[in-house]
Structure 1
């Protein structure tokens, strides 16, 4: 029952430090080191990377990479929420602008142009789809598609402001519809969008560094653990109690942020 509950929790919290993820590999590696220390002088490998001091250093580096990845993930999540908040009222605001523009004395051609740009804003991928894309794991293609949508929204809103700026008769009394306020809104959208891009780059790089130290086929944590097991097997024998102590310690490749 406990295992089933843990499995349910892992699925619910995708990026958590779970018992089936990167943290579990690190915890198991710590257990492996403890057994090696317990073998005493009998554990004496020639290869430097298998010596206890090297294993402890590798574990420390892995834990640092895991902590850094979590920190960058938090930054990415915060930037995602900030950008979503900056864009959340764009469609309703755009509709208000169109209505205000239509009664500002603008000519029919200008009104049609404004309505055309507004349709682009209203017709972009739904806010719900963007939220779903950001709440899922940040796969590169998924992030790219979401980013293109936000880039288009910025571009369309910039077009709205340009149309307003070219119409001297557009001078609403409502503060949130004034051109200066809309320009400030546009700047905030651009800033939040840029911050999101930067935070994802940092998060992606942190994941790459974590995966490198843990899953490099030549020097990563999993490969080192495999070699430690082979060494213990060669020293004590395949049927020895010492080898049985460590042979069942599991290490799994987890390239995603789980």
Structure 2
């Protein structure tokens, strides 16, 4: 994911280099395909670059709440284990202890974390995917707290294990997930806009770059020095 996300920026940069080189050919560069005119390719580049920069800014703005949620969730696996060990020390029934273990195991089984780009910014491609795990984790935690709350045997003396504290943690998890949920929708929309500008079939930057290179090779000859000025530029689609 990290390479792919930075790859978008490389595609955008190379498309601008392609435009500048074709513009430098002067009046000789005269494609019949209107999509390949300097003006239209520049419009496409501007749309893609703007969408990418806006997406990057949105993800950068999301860094603080995403990191705050990560910090909130990180120590809770150990907390769940402590509550379960305490519950197993009580006179609660074997059946309800087994139910608690099932919820605890489910909670600890969800991996959470958001992939980061090289600059430390959350990878926008991973924000939505990872959010589901956080939501599932919070739901399992709340179910476990509710189970403890329904059994009088769960009455620890330790403040951090008491129901009031566990309920506060569950509430904080829900609030943190809600904040991220509000971020995800616009980030997803911006990513769709960016990807359309870059990868839409036939009209996106990658396919337009292909067509432009073919035109330049037709104009000067495939092995001409002029053709080599554009054919070296590489454009890659992200993996599915």
TM range (shorter): 0.7 to 0.9
- Which structure 2 residue ranges, 5 or more long, are not aligned? 117-122
Deviations 1:96-155 (A, max 9, x none): 44566678xx8633x852x3343124423747x714x74387878x937x835x444433
Specify the alignment match of 1:71 in structure 2.
57
Q: CA deviation at 1:215?
A: 1.5
Q: Does structure 2 retain, via aligned residues, the 8 Å contact 1:62–1:210? A: yes
- CA-based RMSD of the aligned residues comes to 3.8
Q: Does structure 2 retain, via aligned residues, the 8 Å contact 1:117–1:159? A: no
The TM-score with structure 1 as length reference comes to 0.69
C-alpha distance in structure 2 between counterparts of 1:196 and 1:252, whole Å = 30
**Equivalent residues in 2 for 1:102-141, closer than 5 Å:** 108-109=92-93, 113=96, 115-124=97-106, 126=108, 130-131=111-112, 134-135=114-115
Q: Does structure 1 retain, via aligned residues, the 8 Å contact 2:213–2:231? A: yes
Q: CA deviation at 1:55?
A: 1.6
Specify the alignment match of 2:172 in structure 1.
188
> 1:171–1:32: structure 2 CA closer, same or farther, 3 Å change rule?
same
The TM-score with structure 2 as length reference comes to 0.73
Q: When the two structures are aligned, how many residues end up with a matched partner?
A: 233
Deviations 1:154-196 (A, max 9, x none): 3333233334444568665654344333222111112223444
C-alpha distance in structure 1 between counterparts of 2:152 and 2:139, whole Å = 22
**Equivalent residues in 2 for 1:95-244, closer than 5 Å:** 95-98=81-84, 108-109=92-93, 113=96, 115-124=97-106, 126=108, 130-131=111-112, 134-135=114-115, 143=129, 147=132, 150-166=134-150, 174-244=158-228
SS in 1 for 2:69: helix
Higher mean displacement: 172-181 or 37-46: 172-181
SS in 2 for 1:124: helix
